[in-house]
Amino acid sequence: MAKDIKKDLKKLAKEGEIKLTESILKWKYKKEGKQIPHEDILKHSSRAITDKANEILYQKGKTIFNEIKKAYHERKKRNSNQDSGS
């Protein structure tokens, strides 16, 4: 049951992200004085933008985590060298 709830929450969050992106796109089109595309095109564009944004955030998050691990290991190595050199 917990897996179902987690899956439902992820789906709800994803739908919320897409709707927010759709609203931002509509606002941008209006601000630029352009005609708002057909709903199907707008939904497809919103989904594509949301997917790309999530992919970028995932990759950047992974990079940040790897840098933190690298710094931790370098500090650990430095401390180990100082302890053995004393």
| pLDDT given for residue 86 in this prediction | 54
Q: How many domains does the chain have?
A: 1
Confidence of residue 85 (pLDDT cuts 50, 70, 90): low
Q: Provide the residue range defining the domain that includes 59.
A: 2-85
Q: Which tens digits make up the pLDDT trace of 18-70? A: 999 999 999 999 999 999 999 999 999 999 999 999 899 888 888 877 888 88
- Provide the angle, in degrees to the nearest 10, between the axes of the packed helices 39-85 and 2-31: 120
End-to-end CA distance of the chain: 57
Cα–Cα distance, 25 to 44 (Å, whole number) = 12
Q: pTM score > 0.95 for this model?
A: no
- How many residues does this entry show for the chain? 86
